[in-house]
Amino acid sequence: MLEKTGVPDADQIKKITPSPGRLKKGPVAVVECFQSIPCDPCRYACRQEAIKEFKDINDLPVIDHDLCNGCGSCISKCPGLAIFVIDDTYSEKEGLVKLPYEYLPLPRPEEEENGIDTEGWEVCSARVVKVQNAKVLDRTPVVWLTVPREHLMKVRNFLRKGGA
């Protein structure tokens, strides 16, 4: 499916999804990079060395989810906006998704938005928890969204409600 539509299929997503046991331990990065291109800034952004050294700069990133602490320092360093942090332990009913967001205006905490999937389809309501926009993020803000836990591996962006 990726080759035809640019959207990964369920099998591709399953291969990069942390194990259920790892998800129960707290925040963890998910690298949804599926195309071999010369790129490796994520490797150098990871202070935990959870993103393994590339044998070739065209290799796909490989992450050791057990080494990842979910800090998110890799999110804004990915030029392809392909790295997310998910936290299945956020609350009993909600999970947390930290995602790169390069649109203006930036949302504000507590705003309710429409969580969308990789195809742009609305999946669920999402609430903005935090917006990180520090200089160290290379001008790529990171938005923290709460979503129903069953949509944690689906929501990868959001549409602003009211078009603003």
Give the torsion through C-alpha atoms of 70, 14, 66, 83, to 10 deg.
-30
* pLDDT attached to residue 47: 93
Beta bridge partners of 144: 98, 130
Q: In the block, which residue shows the tokens 């291969």?
A: 15
14 CB neighbour count, 10 Å cutoff: 10
Q: What is the pLDDT of residue 125?
A: 97
Rounded Cα–Cα distance for residues 8 and 133 (Å): 28
pLDDT of residue 8: 82
CA separation for the pair 98, 70 (Å, rounded): 9
Number of domains in the chain: 1
Find the domain containing 127 and state its range.
Answer: 2-163
pLDDT of residue 143: 97
- Mean pLDDT, consecutive 10-residue stretches, the chain (164 aa), reads 72 90 97 91 93 93 96 93 96 97 94 95 97 84 97 94 66
Q: What is the pLDDT of residue 163?
A: 57
Q: Give residue 29's pLDDT.
A: 97
